[in-house]
Structures are given as C-alpha cells and as structure tokens.
Chains A and B, each alone.
Chain A
Amino acid sequence: MSVHINTGTEAAQTVPTTVRASRWPDPRVLAGVGLPIVIALLWELAVRVGLSDGRLMPPPSKIYAAMAALAVSGELQVHIAATLARVGAGFAFGAIAGTLTGAIAGGSETIRRVIDPSLQALRAVPSIAWVPLFILWLGIFETSKIALIAIGVFFPVYLGVASAIIGIDRKLLEVGRIFRLSRFQTARRILLPAVLPVWLTALRAGLGLGFMFVVAAEIMGASEGLGYLLVDGQQMGRPDQIVGAIIAFALLGKLADTLLVLLTRPLLVWQDTARAQL
C-alpha cells in the first residue's frame, strides 16, 4: 500500500554499524605502546652490561622488585587504598558541589552574575596555596586533604555544567514549550540529556585534577598513601620506590578515568562518538 515515492530503497538499508578500520591494529598504535617498553628494556640492558650503575634511575627490574616487596608485605595495598579513598571522597564532594553550583549558576542569570566573579577569582588561586589555610582550619589529617582535592574537582565541574546549561540550544527548548512540558519535565527531558555529555567531560577533567591534588595533599604530610611513598622514597634515598609510586599513580589515574568512561558510556550511545574519535 505504499504510495510514497522513495520508500523502497530506504527500507532496504540497515543501520550502518561502526566500522572498525581493519582486523589488524594500526602499526602506529603498536609503535606508541612499544616505545616506552623498548626504552625500559634498553635501560635495563644498559644497567646490566654496566654502561650505568642505575643508582639515580633504577632499571625496571629493580623498580618491580621494590614494588613487589611492598605488595607482598601488604603495604602497597594499604597505600593504594588510602590514596583511592581520598580521591574518591574529594571527587564525590567536589563533583556534587560543582554540579549543583553550576546548575544554579547556569539556570539563573542573576545568581550567575553575583557568584561567578568570586568563583573565577578563587579559581585563579593556585590550589596548593590553600594548603596552609586548610591545615589551620581543618587540621593535618584527612579533612584538609579531602577538601583540597574537592576544590580541585569543583572548578572544572562547575564551569562545565554552568557553560553547558547556558549554551543549551534554545531551539530545542522551544520544542519542549510547544508540547507544553512543565519546568520539571523540561529539565528532565531536555536540559539533562543535553547537558550530560559536557557534564561527563567535566567530571573526567575533575577526576584528573583530583589525582594531581592527592599527590600534593599526601606530600604535605601523610603516614600512608602513594604520595607518602614518594616522600618516604626521597628521604630513604630509594629512587626505585619513587618511580614505582609514580607508575602506580599513572596506572590508577588511567584506570579511574577508564572506569568513569565505561560506566557512563551507556548514557551517551546516541552520540557520534565513533566518528568524533577517529
């Protein structure tokens, strides 16, 4: 019963699936992964054949041994757990505060004009500068550390959410008006999904900063945590422990970021990510 002109060809098409470039990974990707491995192996070799004593820059085997020893004694796990707990708590507080403040500032121009200048000024303060004040206010224990991390997470999230709400397509809001959505429905059915991608990007940026700040927080005084391992390694003259802690930081940061991306991916299936990333 088709009366229309061009349904035939269109109905026959199927949804184009995301095309993987080929079965073989791009050689450049392999080279990118291989480069640090090759450098590590060369360094190992250089130390083994005596080209360097590896005192200031220990070879991979020594770093591994140091970390393995820490892991066997259970210390490494304690340090990692301490760092993750701090980042997690700081991230949670900072992200919630940043999201709420950003939503309020984005939603009301009056409020934005009042609070944004102050927040921008505070943002300009290098965050480490807060440390002495936080220690005075909150003591040297967990609270001041978590506050510092939360501050680091707060600003990118606040900025991202506020600018996403300001930048929302007014034409889409008009679609909501035409179908007479209430304020709440508009927020849930148009604002929220429209802001979601920017919000998640802001959360990722915040998480990254959270890991930066946990190092600062732990270096300034902690009895456990990967940052403590750094300081301890310096005081004991153990470069292998320092490099090991650095690598652990890198891995944890990457892992947390990947986890955040994976957890939020179902929310963004509608986006043209495949095309955007290629």
Chain B
Amino acid sequence: MSVLEIKHLDKTYSDGTRALSDVSLDVGAGEILGIVGGSGCGKTTLLRLVAGLDLPSEGFISVGGERISGPHPAVGIVFQEPRLLPWLTVADNVGFGLHHLPVAERINRIANALERVGLASYGKRWPRELSGGQQQRVAIARAFVARPKVLLLDEPFSALDAFTRASLHEHLLLLWEQDKPTIVMVTHDVEESVTLSDRVVVMKPHPGRVFETISVTLERPRDHLTAPFEKVKRRIHATLDRSMRPENTPQAPRKSDSGALWW
C-alpha cells in the first residue's frame, strides 16, 4: 500500500526553467526511498513539492490519500542545512513543531528523540554550541518528533565528513525503527543510498525525470564490505553514468575504437 503517491508531476519555474517533467513515484509505508542524480535534475524541487513549500505546475501528490496543497502535518522535511532557531535551546528546537501538545507529552517526545540521536544531555544548550553534525542530528530529531508519515531528507549529511555521516546513518535508522515512517532521501553519495534505501531512484536532468529505479534487497544492518553491497553500488554508479549521457548517444564515445586504443 503506498503512502506517498506522486502522479505525472511537472514543475516549470516562473522564469521558464523546466525542473521536473512527468515524474511518477509510489512509495510504500515504512519504505526508505533514495534519490540520486546529477546536479540540477530537480531533486530539491521534487522534495519541496512533496513538502508543500511549492506548488506543481501539473500532476498531483497525495499522502495517505490526501492531496498536498501546502505544508501537511503528515509530511516532515530535513533540509541540507540544520536551520535551527538560534534563540531556542536544543530541546526547544526539537519541540518547535509540538506546541499543540500537552507539556508532559512534549517533554517526553523531546527527551526520547534526543536520546535516540545521542544528544540526551544537550537539551539545555544553544545551537551555536553544537558541531555541524550535532546540529543536523537536532534537525532530524525535530522532524521526527512530529511523527510524520512521510519524512523528506534533502542531502542532510552532505556537509559532513564520512565518519560523522556513518554515525548519523545509525541514528537515522534508530529513529526510523520507532515509528517506521516512509522516508524519501536525496543524496549525492551512492554508498549512502545503498546503506539506507530499499529502492534507489536515479534521476536524469534537463528536464528532471525518473531515469531508472533500482531495488536494494540487502538485510539491515548493511555491511559495506560485502560483495552484494558492492554490486548494487556499481550498478547504481553505472546507471548514473548513463543518466548523465546526452540523449542521442546510446553508446559512450569512449567505448569506440579510439577508446579501445586508450585502454
């Protein structure tokens, strides 16, 4: 049963840029969908449409059967930057979207989320006192505590080093295990997409559209050093290469005779 339905989505910006063309996706409950693709192929645009921050030119998006026409309570998003409010403590930042809840419930959820991202003792600190990776964890906790059915992540770890990123993957999965929301995660790191996703969508630019979808059927937790992991990774890399090749050259030029000489 799909929780997130995207049908024939088109987005043309007011300056005429065609960012998305006929994008259709179905994402199931609890599924983690990875999205990779060259720069400018509309990944951010797609997430912003699903989050209701922008409106599509054509097509529609529905979450749990409800059509998206603006920010929706069942949809959360983590941006590329933490976007914490500097005048709120870490705990208040996490609870920013929980003002409608009774205080006790709010405190409970905040404490639980902070614990899961490994920042249990950081609640009273100011965001400026945290490292970049810690701030991003707070941002993830802030999105999770609202218990969204669909959580969108737009390259949330791209500014971080590989080691921090690996630990954040664990924190993310730990939070995910709690309510099993549907996750759509944009990344430019193929390894990251294989580590986390059930399916990886490769997008193609000019205009942005879905090029190919690759299933990842590995058991979690996933070991990066195994052969099946490597195989999926290589397959996605190859698909990415093809997606960035111009339309009318089905064969890569370097596989021609001159290329053979090179090898």
| Real binding pair | yes
Query: Restricting to B70-109, which residues have a CB under 8 Å from any CB of A?
Result: 70-71, 73, 76-77, 79, 81, 83, 85-89, 96-97
Q: Which of B120-128, B194-202, B204-212 contacts A (4 or more CB under 8 A)?
A: B120-128
Q: Chain B 111-138, CB within 8 Å of chain A: the 1/0 string?
A: 0000011111110111011000010000
For residue B53, CB closer than 8 A to chain A, the reply is yes
Does A174 sit at the interface, judged by CB under 8 A? Answer: yes
A171 CB–B CB distance under 8 Å: yes
Give Cα distance in the complex from A5 to B173, angstroms.
Answer: 13
Interface size (B, Cβ < 8 Å)? 36
B106 to chain A, nearest CB (A): 13
Query: Is A171 within 8 A of B118, CB to CB?
Result: no
Within 8 A of B (CB), among A173-214: 174-175, 177-180, 189-190, 193-194, 196
B217 contacts the other chain (Cβ, under 8 Å)?
no
A271 to B129, CA, bound (A): 11
Interface-lining segment among A7-15, A44-52, A76-84, A135-143: A7-15
User: Could you say which residues of chain A place their CB within 8 Å of the CB of B121?
Assistant: 10-11
Which residues of chain B have C-beta atoms less than 8 A from A272's C-beta?
A: 128
Judge whether B85 and A180 touch: CB under 8 Å. Answer: no
Closest CB in chain B relative to A196 CB, distance in Å: 8
Describe B's contact surface by its main secondary structure.
loop
Is the pair B85, A193 in contact by a Cβ cutoff of 8 Å?
Answer: yes
- B residues within 8 A CB of A174? 53, 79, 83
Whether A179 and B118, one on each chain, are in contact in the complex, defined by CB atoms closer than 8 angstroms, is: no
Q: Knowing A178-B51, A190-B85 touch, does A3 contact B79 (C-beta < 8 A)?
A: no
Tell me if A172 counts as interface (CB < 8 A to partner B): yes
Is B191 on the interface with A (CB-CB < 8 A)?
no
| A269 closest partner in B (C-beta) | B126
- When C-beta atoms are compared, the residue in chain B nearest to A193 turns out to be B87
Give the CA-CA distance A6 to B118 in the complex, in Å: 7
A270 and B146 contact, Cβ closer than 8 Å, known pairs A3-B170, A171-B81, A178-B51: no
Residues B87 and A270 in contact, CB atoms below 8 Å apart:
yes
Closest residue of A by beta carbon distance from B78: A178
CB distance from B6 to the nearest CB of A (A): 19
Residues of B close to A7: CB separation below 8 A: 118, 120
- Answer whether residue B57 sits at the interface, using C-beta atoms and an 8 A cutoff: no
Q: Which 10 A-B residue pairings sit nearest by Cβ, starting from the closest? A: A179-B97, A4-B118, A7-B118, A193-B87, A5-B167, A270-B87, A11-B121, A180-B71, A175-B83, A178-B71
Given contacts A16-B129, A172-B83, A178-B53, 16 further A-B contacts (CB under 8 A): A4-B170, A4-B171, A5-B167, A5-B170, A7-B118, A7-B120, A10-B119, A10-B122, A15-B124, A15-B125, A172-B85, A175-B85, A178-B76, A178-B77, A180-B70, A270-B126
Please report B residues at the A interface, Cβ cutoff 8 Å.
Answer: 51, 53, 70-71, 73, 76-77, 79, 81, 83, 85-89, 96-97, 116-122, 124-126, 128-129, 134, 146, 166-167, 170-171, 174
Task: Pick 23 A–B contacts, CB within 8 A, sort by A.
Answer: A4-B116, A4-B117, A4-B118, A5-B167, A6-B118, A10-B134, A11-B121, A15-B125, A15-B129, A171-B81, A172-B83, A172-B85, A174-B53, A174-B83, A175-B85, A175-B96, A177-B53, A177-B71, A178-B77, A178-B97, A179-B146, A270-B89, A270-B126
